[in-house]
């Protein structure tokens, strides 16, 4: 594999077919090695797959990532190595693909089927006994009820759905955004606004951030 400067990468990838072809192959191979390393070493959820299956997956993802890099060549600013920038794109391609596969059957409708977000119990779910002293527990229960009420009073339906999906169900923003017909950046902003609205609302209910941190940060 040829070592190239950033300028050489750009020149070769946009050059004649004789220049472009080996550069594309070098790029694809580099990306494949990185993706393979990530999938095989860092993804415990893929541990059930054989080495051949991981290799095939890395090959397919590297192919997609190479195309994505080529589509975005014009946005490379040159403030890192070209290969680092390309690896960032490859990581995004790979992780997006894994998210889509994992949450293929996820629906936003599943999230609100349980109705109100009221605490169902104040006892420790394992021991069946309160985790804190009676006064402390009462104070916490009161706060939780205020938060449940605030979720309904302060948030729009979309903010509520997004917050439940991301904060409670740990669904990736990218997946939730797709189901909501928006993009991840817009969803992040929507969640940012939702959190700010909730904090403001709860402040007016006498629940300041510092109070909450004291009460719930064990």
Partner 1 sequence: MGLPDEQLRKLIDHIFISHQDGEMDCEMCSCQLECLAEKVAAGASLRDLLPEVEAHLRCCPDCREEWQALLCILRAERDGNLTTPQN
Report the residue from 22, 92, 110, 138 that binds partner 1 according to the rule CB under 8 A: 92
- By CB under 8 A, tell whether 204 contacts partner 1: no
- By CB under 8 A, tell whether 29 contacts partner 1: yes
CA-to-CA separations, 7 to 72, 94, 142, in angstroms, rounded? 16, 26, 62
- By CB under 8 A, tell whether 21 contacts partner 1: no
- By CB under 8 A, tell whether 153 contacts partner 1: no
Residue for token pair 């109705």: 115
Report the residue from 12, 23, 69, 87 that binds partner 1 according to the rule CB under 8 A: 87
Stretch 42-81 residues interacting with partner 1 (CB under 8 A): 42, 51-52, 54-56, 58-59, 79-81
Residues in binding contact with partner 1, number by CB under 8 A? 67
Stretch 93-122 residues interacting with partner 1 (CB under 8 A): 94-95, 114-122
- By CB under 8 A, tell whether 152 contacts partner 1: no
- Of 110, 114, 96, which Cα lies nearest the Cα of 172? 96
CA-to-CA separations, 110 to 43, 68, 97, 107, in angstroms, rounded? 27, 33, 22, 6
Report the residue from 6, 20, 112, 188 that binds partner 1 according to the rule CB under 8 A: 188
**Smallest distance, partner 1 to C-beta of residue 34, A:** 4
Q: CA-CA distance, 43 to 163, in Å (whole number)?
A: 26
Cβ nearer to partner 1, comparing 12 with 26: 26
Exposure class string for 95-114: b at 16+ Cβ within 10 A, else e = bbebbeeebeebebeebeee
Rg (CA), the chain: 24
Residue for token pair 């991840």: 184
- Of 23, 19, 20, which Cα lies nearest the Cα of 3? 23
Q: Give the burial class of 41: count Cβ atoms within 10 A of its Cβ; 0-12 exposed, 13-18 middle, 19 or more buried.
A: exposed
Sites of contact with partner 1 (CB under 8 A): 29, 32-34, 36-38, 40-42, 51-52, 54-56, 58-59, 79-81, 84-85, 87-88, 91-92, 94-95, 114-125, 143-144, 147-148, 151, 163, 166-168, 170, 172-174, 184-185, 188-189, 192, 195, 198-199, 202, 209, 212-213, 216-217
């Amino acid at each position: 594999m040829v070592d190239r400067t950033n300028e050489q990468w750009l020149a070769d990838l946009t050059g004649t077919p004789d220049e472009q072809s080996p550069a594309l192959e070098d790029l694809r191979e580099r990306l494949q090695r990185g993706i393979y390393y990530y999938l095989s070493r860092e993804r415990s959820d893929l541990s059930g797959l054989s080495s051949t299956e991981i290799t095939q997956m890395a090959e397919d993802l590297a192919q997609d990532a190479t195309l994505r890099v080529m589509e975005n060549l014009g946005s490379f600013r040159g403030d890192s190595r070209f290969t680092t920038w390309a690896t960032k794109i490859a990581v995004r391609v790979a992780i997006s693909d894994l998210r889509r596969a994992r949450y293929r059957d996820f629906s936003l409708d599943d999230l609100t089927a349980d109705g109100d977000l009221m605490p169902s119990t104040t006892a420790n779910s394992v021991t069946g006994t309160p985790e804190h002293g009676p006064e402390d527990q009462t104070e916490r229960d009161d706060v939780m009820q205020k938060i449940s009420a605030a979720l309904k009073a302060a948030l729009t339906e979309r903010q509520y759905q997004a917050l439940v999906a991301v904060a409670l169900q740990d669904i990736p923003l990218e997946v939730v955004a797709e189901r909501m017909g928006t993009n991840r950046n817009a969803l992040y902003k929507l969640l940012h606004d939702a959190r700010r609205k909730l904090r403001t609302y709860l402040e007016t209910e006498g629940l300041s951030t510092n109070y909450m941190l004291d009460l719930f940060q064990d």
